Amino acid sequence: MGLAMPVEKPKQAKGTALRLLSYFRASAPLLALVVAAAVASTVFSIWSPKILGDATTVLFNGFLQKLRHVPGGGVDFAKILNLALWLAGLYIFSSIFSWVQQYLMAGVAQRTVYTIRSQVMEKLTRLPVQFFDAHPHGEILSRFVNDFDNISTTLQQSLTQLVTSVVTFVGVTVMMLTISPLLTLAVAITLPLSFFVTRSIARRSQTYFLQRQRHLGDLNGHIE
């Protein structure tokens, strides 16, 4: 019964979030390392396409010089090799910092969830028998198992994804401005327009999607 309960919204979302964050006080140094590793991994991953673009430019310019028979012209393979080594180093360091970030955050999340589980278990042992008579066992198990799984998943993924998304947005914007301010302006103009167009189309297509699912269900029921 409790496993099929609808999703409920917290009555005090801000208070719940602050109370959840209070469990991270003991892991503040590790969280600082997680944020630093996330920033480093994202910066290296953003920088990599710039190096790849420089290598492509060197290759293209050398090819043009070869076609135009420029004296001494040609592809500078030594420079391309140097850029390839830089690119490989960036990918390696980005992967290392990403692994460190996920490893540390998994430990912090599991210790935090373990603390909350222990407190909930102590609370359950103090509750009177009338409470268990008034609440189905499935509901209690759903609260104790599914909710903690959701908390663990959120702590391991959402926090690091938030940091990564912010750094990626800022880094990509800076990188685009350094490459071409005009193209950056064009992207900044078209993105909001595409968002509104996609939203309007999705709003209208949702009705047809529901009708399609309803007709498909009727068809499957008729065939069976």
3-state secondary structure of 57: helix
Amino acid of residue 172: V
**Rounded distance, CA 153 to CA 144, Å?**
15
The per-residue pLDDT of the chain, averaged, comes to: 79
What type of residue sits at position 99? Answer: W
Q: pLDDT tens-digit profile of 126-145?
A: 888 888 777 777 667 766 77
Distance separating alpha carbons of residues 98 and 105, to the nearest angstrom: 11
Q: So what's the pLDDT on residue 92? A: 93
- Round to whole Å and give the CA distance between 176 and 170: 10
- Residue-wise pLDDT tens digits, 188-218: 888 788 878 888 887 777 777 777 767 766 6
Q: How much is the pLDDT for 6?
A: 45
Q: How confident is the model at residue 185 (pLDDT cuts 50, 70, 90)?
A: confident
User: d(Cα 24, Cα 143) in Å, to the nearest integer?
Assistant: 21
* Residue carrying the six token digits 């490989």: 88
Q: Residue 5: is its pLDDT beyond 50?
A: no
CA-CA distances (angstroms) from residue 224 to 93, 213, 214, 218?
56, 16, 15, 10
* pLDDT surpassing 60 at residue 2: no
Distance of alpha carbon 42 from alpha carbon 162, whole angstroms? 12
> 82: phi > 0 → left, psi -120 to 50 → alpha, else beta; which?
alpha
Q: How far apart are the first and last CA of the chain?
A: 28
% of the chain beyond a pLDDT of 70: 85
In the DSSP assignment, the letter for residue 25 is: G
